[in-house]
Amino acid sequence: AQSVTQLDSQVPVFEEAPVELRCNYSSSVSVYLFWYVQYPNQGLQLLLKYLSGSTLVESINGFEAEFNKSQTSFHLRKPSVHISDTAEYFCAVSIQGAQKLVFGQGTRLTINP
């Protein structure tokens, strides 16, 4: 079975500072990895995903994540955050043929002006 651990439940940062949200997973087979974002009072939206190929994946709003197989990690980074990035971020894992996403506990990102 797969599992996901998000090491920080809350991350406060100042505007324009860099941020890293950590995600580690456990699986005995090859995985697909996802980051979803949940803005206040909204559903989840896909931010980026790793299926295969290049281990560095990017989103359209400046986030990136790197798949590290040896460390079983998929940390999310942004070099300079904005107030509008305030949200809860969920890391999720799936495998080929699976019928569900397995989610981490979520990390609440708070941006202070």
Minimum CB–partner distance for residue 29 and other proteins (Å): 10
The minimum distance between CB 72 and other proteins, in angstroms, equals 17
Per-residue tokens: 89? 């971020």
Residue 40 contacts other proteins per CB under 8 A? no
Q: Could you say whether residue 55 binds other proteins (CB under 8 A)?
A: no
Contact between 104 and other proteins by CB under 8 A: the answer reads yes
28 binds other proteins (CB under 8 A): no
Q: Is 34 exposed, middle or buried (0-12, 13-18, 19+ CB in 10 A)?
A: buried
Q: How far is CA 95 from CA 4, 11, 65, 98, 102, in A?
A: 13, 28, 18, 5, 10
60 is a contact residue toward other proteins (CB under 8 A): no
Structure tokens at 109: 């990102």
**Is position 57 an interface residue for other proteins (rule: CB under 8 A)?**
no
The encoded tokens of residue 104 equal 């981490």
Residues binding other proteins (CB under 8 A): 4, 6, 9, 32, 34, 36, 41-46, 49, 51, 90, 94-101, 103-106
